[in-house]
């Protein structure tokens, strides 16, 4: 089973206000030749590209950016948008609710609504909007997450313009991982550019994982750098801590879903790295990255 553990979804009803400005900024920053590669985040396109790539299930993420981005839609609207997709395609998608823990009791109520009523399988934290995930004020939220037994995907690493990098350091996941050992935390993007920090946190804590979403450009333009980082992750954290993810649709103009899956399936160690003692990834290890690891966390 192949599982994309990190994917976005949107259409014209969601892209408005500051969020529209954010998407336009990403298009320019990534030098996307056709804006539709990024602006078209429709479920129809995603399903088509999943089929082409042989992806069996995809985690789609709700986003709660209301504390930073002005919009005509609310975070609850976004979660409902995801919920409708889960209802229509229950065998294809797993939803993670976009919830900002700064909402306090309201955050807990939305967590319960999304998990218990709408069937979501996890929570998405968009820390780049301006909060440290280890704030003690959020501990009642974590206690409820622990009771509901769902994972939290935490944005770590670089974000687009208009967002705050300082809140996205993996070190802030360490405290909550220690204090809530029964919650599985997934750190997005291997924490890039704080990758060594992310690997240290995931290696130390048995309940912390990393995904490789947004690493398509590194693989495309510097394959040895990607392979070396992935091998470092394997040796530091263990192969069982690495999840396949794409950050779809943000990098599809650089590498399609099909090519990103193929990149892991056909992963080879370049000769210079073999001379350094880096050994090949086994077929079992590639299968673990592509889906088996995520399946365990998601209870599939």
**Which ranges of 30-184 would DSSP assign to H, the alpha helix?**
36-39, 43-53, 75-88, 105-112, 139-148, 171-179
Is the torsion defined by CA of 268, 269, 270, 274 positive or negative?
negative
253-270: pLDDT as tens digits = 999 999 999 999 999 998
Chain centre distance of CA 99: 14
**What's the gap between Cα 42 and its chain centre?**
18
DSSP 162: T
Res 219 pLDDT > 80: yes
Rounded-to-integer distance, Cα 168 and Cα 3, Å? 24
Topology given in CATH for the domain delimited by 3-298: TIM Barrel (3.20.20)
d(CA 59, CA 95): 6
Yes or no: say if 216 and 4 are a contact pair by the CB < 8 Å rule.
no
User: Residue 278 has what pLDDT?
Assistant: 86
8 Å CB contact between 95 and 120: yes
Under the banding of pLDDT at 50, 70 and 90, the label for residue 271 is confident
The model's pTM:
0.96
Confidence of residue 218 (pLDDT cuts 50, 70, 90): very high
Task: Please state, in angstroms and rounded to a whole number, the distance separating the CA atoms of residues 163 and 64.
Answer: 13
Whether the pLDDT of residue 72 is over 80: the answer is no
pLDDT at 22 > cutoff 80: yes
Query: Please, what is the end-to-end C-alpha distance for the chain in angstroms?
Result: 10
């Amino acid at each position: 089973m192949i599982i994309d553990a990190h994917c976005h979804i949107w259409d014209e009803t969601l892209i408005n206000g500051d969020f529209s400005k954010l998407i336009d900024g990403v298009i320019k920053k990534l030098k996307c030749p056709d804006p539709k590669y990024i602006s078209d985040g429709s479920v129809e396109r995603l399903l088509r590209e999943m089929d082409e790539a042989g992806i069996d299930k995809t985690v789609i993420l709700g986003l709660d950016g209301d504390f930073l981005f002005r919009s005509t839609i609310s975070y609850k609207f976004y979660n409902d948008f995801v919920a409708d997709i889960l209802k229509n395609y229950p065998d294809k998608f797993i939803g993670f609710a976009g919830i900002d823990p700064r909402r306090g009791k309201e955050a807990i109520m939305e967590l319960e609504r999304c998990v218990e009523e709408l069937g979501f399988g996890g929570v998405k934290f968009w820390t780049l909007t301006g909060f440290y995930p280890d704030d003690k004020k959020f501990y009642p939220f974590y206690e409820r997450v622990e009771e509901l037994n769902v994972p939290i995907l935490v944005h770590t690493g670089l974000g687009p313009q208009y967002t705050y990098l300082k809140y996205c350091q993996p070190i802030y996941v360490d405290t909550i991982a220690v204090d809530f050992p029964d919650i599985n935390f997934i750190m997005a993007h291997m924490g890039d550019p704080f990758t060594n920090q992310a690997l240290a946190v995931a290696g130390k804590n048995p309940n912390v994982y990393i995904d490789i979403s947004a690493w398509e450009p590194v693989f495309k333009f510097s394959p040895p750098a990607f392979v070396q980082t992935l091998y470092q992750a394997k040796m530091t954290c263990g192969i069982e801590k690495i999840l396949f993810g794409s950050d779809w649709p943000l990098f599809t103009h650089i590498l399609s879903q099909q090519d990103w899956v193929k990149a892991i399936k056909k992963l080879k160690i370049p000769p210079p790295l073999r001379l350094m003692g880096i050994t090949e990834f086994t077929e079992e290890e590639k299968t673990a990255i592509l889906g088996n690891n995520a399946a365990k966390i998601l209870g599939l």
